[in-house]
Chains A and B, each alone.
Chain A
Amino acid sequence: AQSVAQPEDQVNVAEGNPLTVKCTYSVSGNPYLFWYVQYPNRGLQFLLKYITGDNLVKGSYGFEAEFNKSQTSFHLKKPSALVSDSALYFCAVRAFSSGSARQLTFGSGTQLTVLP
């Protein structure tokens, strides 16, 4: 069975500092990885995805994520955090070989707070 772990429920970072939100996964075969963000009182928004190719994936709002196959990780990063980045972040994984859209597993979420 596939799974996603977001080991930190809460991450606090000062504005202007780099931020990292951690994600590790377990899946059979090659992974299809995603990051989503949920701003207060809103639905989720897609941030970025990794399928194949370059291990560093760039997404919306200046975010990027680094795929590390040996560590089975897909950490979300941003060089300089903004207060407006404060939100709930979800990592998700699916086996690349799976043809079904329903086979997506979400992590439990990490609340990011950027302090002014």
Chain B
Amino acid sequence: DVKVTQSSRYLVKRTGEKVFLECVQDMDHENMFWYRQDPGLGLRLIYFSYDVKMKEKGDIPEGYSVSREKKERFSLILESASTNQTSMYLCASSQGQGAPPLHFGNGTRLTVT
């Protein structure tokens, strides 16, 4: 079974802090995704990576950056956290060109105070 592991289940940070959300997958998947989930809005793509060091902006990249130095790890970075970034963050992976996300982590609920 593919496992996508997000390092933190709950995180509380202060406004202005730099925040790192880590995601690791164990199946050598090419594609990795970071989504944000908010009630009534569904999932919105923040960033997508299709290979090491390769990334594409999603629908809501503002205020976020990503890093993919190794194939199995995809990090989401909030350069200066703000209260409107309080949300559930979901990492996902898939294999193959154009393949949509198939395997998700359990999510990180981030609260910015």
| Residues in chain A within 8 A of chain B (CB atoms) | 4, 9, 32, 34, 41-46, 90, 92, 94, 98-102, 104, 106-109
**Cβ-defined contact, B48 with A106, below 8 A:** no
Which residues on B sit within 8 Å (CB–CB) of A99? Answer: 97-98
Do B56 and A107 have beta carbons less than 8 Å apart? no
- B45 interface hit (Cβ, 8 Å): yes
Give the number of residues in B that approach A within 8 Å (Cβ atoms).
Answer: 28
Q: What are the interface flags for B77-113 relative to A under an 8 Å C-beta threshold, 1 for contact and 0 otherwise? A: 0000000000000101010011111111111000000
Assembled-state Cα–Cα distance A94/B6 (Å): 26
Main secondary structure of the interface of B (DSSP, over half): strand
Complexed CA–CA distance, A43 and B60 (Å)? 20
Asked if residues B98 and A43 are in contact (CB atoms below 8 Å), the reply is: no
B interface with A by C-beta (< 8 Å): 4, 6, 31, 33, 40-45, 48, 50, 56, 58, 90, 92, 94, 97-107
Closest to A36 in B: B104
Chain B's closest residue to A104 (CB) is B100
In the bound assembly, the distance between CA atoms of A9 and B40 in angstroms comes to: 8
Do A44 and B104 touch across chains, with their CB atoms under 8 A apart? yes
Contacts of A100 in B (CB 8 A): 56, 98
| From B33, B90, B98, contact of A98 by CB (8 A) | B98
Contacting pair A101 B100 (CB below 8 A) = yes
Report the nearest B residue to A45, measured CB to CB: B104
A104, B33: Cα distance in complex, Å:
11
- B residues less than 8 Å from A44 (CB atoms): 43, 90, 92, 101, 104
Of the candidates B4, B43, B105, the one whose C-beta lies within 8 Å of that of A106 is B43
Known: A101-B50, A102-B58. A46 touches B40 (CB 8 A): no
